[in-house]
Chain A
Amino acid sequence: MARASGSIKKFSRVQVVFHWVYGGSWIILALTGLTFLWRGDPTEPAVGLGPLLQGSVGQTLRLVHRIAAIGLMTSPLIWFLGDPKSVWPDLKELFSFGKRDLKYMLVAPLYYTTGRGQLPPQGKFNGGHKVNFYVVFTTYFTFIGSGLVMWLGRGTVSDGAFHVAQLIHSLSFFLGSGLFLLHVYLTAIHPFTRRSLSSMVNGWMELQYARLDHSEWVEREIRNGTAQIRGVEGAAEAR
């Protein structure tokens, strides 16, 4: 079977913009922050990236980090104010993690590596999306809380609290980075799942792919008459 034409609307333009503002801010924050974790032996002269990050360059990176932090902190407003109708249904689905999601998480690693196994029908967000969301949701608050302590709390919070903030910030980074790498790999590099990338570019997902990876959602949308489908002969846009 070859690829059939036709696509289904998955995300609104506002959601796409929100995703990329958040993601772009996150990437800038990660790049300007992670470089400082690769520090050499303090008994030896600085090597590698070290000398490039010192002094004014390092201070500029710190400034960029803070500007991007503001972007990250405020980005959810884009979604909440720009497309409020989609907020509750999407959050409701994201926060419901059922047996199908659990089965998906158990089967998906083998399936996406070998093609073996049977993925259970998934909603608009599959189990992997939900786990990714939980990490993003949690680290959104841990990043901001610890970051604000390190940014504005210097000298006012106790040294112990400052150290805990450093630890939480780095822990959030490593946790978020792992999921970020997996997310980027699956949506942009993996030969099969990268077919989902278009939904976060123009909001439309290949219908054939959606029927495989989000069959429960596709059927529900069609059944409710709310599916927006284009490029399929005989399929009128259902609203």
Chain B
Amino acid sequence: MGRAATWESWRPDPTNPAQHVAMLVDTSECIGCKGCEVACKQWNQNEPRISQEAGTYQSHPDLDAETWTVIKFIETEAENGMTKWLMQKHNCMHCTNAGCVTACPTDALQYGDYGVVTLNQDACIGCGYCEAACPFDAIHVDRTVWGMKAQKAGKCTLCFDRIANGMQPACVATCPTDCIKFGDRDALIDWGRQRVEQLKAMGYPNANLYGVDEMGGLHELYVLLEPPEAYGLPVAPKLSPVLELWKYGLQPIGKAVLGVGLFGLVINWIAARRVFKGGLSPHETGATAHD
């Protein structure tokens, strides 16, 4: 498996945008070279942000609006007492039930072709609702810009511009160990499950596949050597029930109630203008006996 697999030659079908593609990161093969970070910056022409975190080999403490993929270096202790690094290529997970899409008030975030969560930066107003709605902390508003340049959200696009033209994402194309695989999501899940069994047989009992069911299914899958929490990944994340209540409960009900209320006022006006002629009440006109 691994490098011998055929994923390097896999290309999306530009005529079939309904297919769900995914990236699978086999963390057992990641060497933390950060080539994917550089390729991402280069292809997307994102400006460099020098913010190295002290005491780690990690290039950036976290993602930001101009840094869409970061290799997380998690230092752990192996059974033999030696230091062991867990690597996780962190970026937008392109959730099937995405919190950011649910929260976005301007349609800047949408469900796009190939299962990709797209971000139209021109449409973004920088409200930051998406940041609070993302359980992976994978989307950020750039708060360092003011004046002529507006504050906008930024996140991994899964190189939508590349895959829509039959190419692989930049990080996939550049990975020297081919630990980032790109392909049909269902096929990658099958491959990932086999890889997990293989790793378990090789002495990694905690190996697991992450992303199959989380948030309705992620389009960024991981073969992990340790449980998700060891990588700082949320266990069984779900769309916030409060956010769902806000979006799918309160908003439609509120609009309906306002509509019914407006209709009631129209009915009242039609009736009242016949009763209160000239603005006078029946008490003033003597039209009723209860004066």
A residues within 8 Å of B by Cβ? 1-3, 36-40, 42-43, 46, 50-51, 53-56, 58-59, 61-62, 112-118, 154-155, 159-160, 162-164, 166-167, 170-171, 173-174, 177-178, 181-182, 185, 189-192, 194-195, 208, 212
**Contact present for A36 and B275 (CB under 8 Å):** no
Q: Residue B243 contacts which of A155, A166, A195 (CB distance < 8 angstroms)? A: A166
Q: Which residues of B contact A58 (CB under 8 A)?
A: 106, 123, 125
Chain A residue at smallest Cβ distance from B108: A54
Distance (Å) between the CB of A175 and the closest chain B CB? 9
Q: Which residues of B contact A62 (CB under 8 A)?
A: 125-127
**Contact present for A46 and B257 (CB under 8 Å):** no
Q: Residue A167 contacts which of B111, B133, B150, B245 (CB distance < 8 angstroms)? A: B245
Prevailing SS type, chain B contact patch: helix
Q: Which residues of A contact B105 (CB under 8 A)?
A: 36-37, 39
**Contact present for A190 and B272 (CB under 8 Å):** yes
Q: Which residues of B contact A42 (CB under 8 A)?
A: 101-102, 104, 107, 109-111
Distance (Å) between the CB of A181 and the closest chain B CB? 6
Distance (Å) between the CB of B95 and the closest chain A CB? 12
Q: Which residues of A contact B268 (CB under 8 A)?
A: 112-113, 185, 190
Chain A residue at smallest Cβ distance from B262: A181
**Contact present for A182 and B265 (CB under 8 Å):** yes
Could you name 24 residue pairs across A and B whose Cβ atoms are closer than 8 Å? A2-B284, A3-B279, A3-B280, A54-B124, A112-B272, A113-B268, A113-B275, A115-B281, A115-B288, A116-B288, A155-B131, A160-B242, A163-B246, A166-B103, A166-B246, A167-B242, A171-B250, A174-B254, A177-B258, A181-B265, A189-B269, A191-B276, A191-B278, A212-B284
Distance (Å) between the CB of A108 and the closest chain B CB? 11
B282 is an interface residue with CB less than 8 A from chain A: yes
Distance (Å) between the CB of A147 and the closest chain B CB? 12
Q: Which residues of A contact B133 (CB under 8 A)?
A: 159, 163
Distance (Å) between the CB of B139 and the closest chain A CB? 12
Q: Which residues of A contact B245 (CB under 8 A)?
A: 167
CB within 8 Å for A55 and B279 given contacts A166-B243, A191-B273, A212-B284: no
**Contact present for B276 and A182 (CB under 8 Å):** no
Q: Which residues of B contact A118 (CB under 8 A)?
A: 290
Q: Which residues of B contact A173 (CB under 8 A)?
A: 254
CB within 8 Å for A182 and B261 given contacts A54-B108, A115-B282: yes
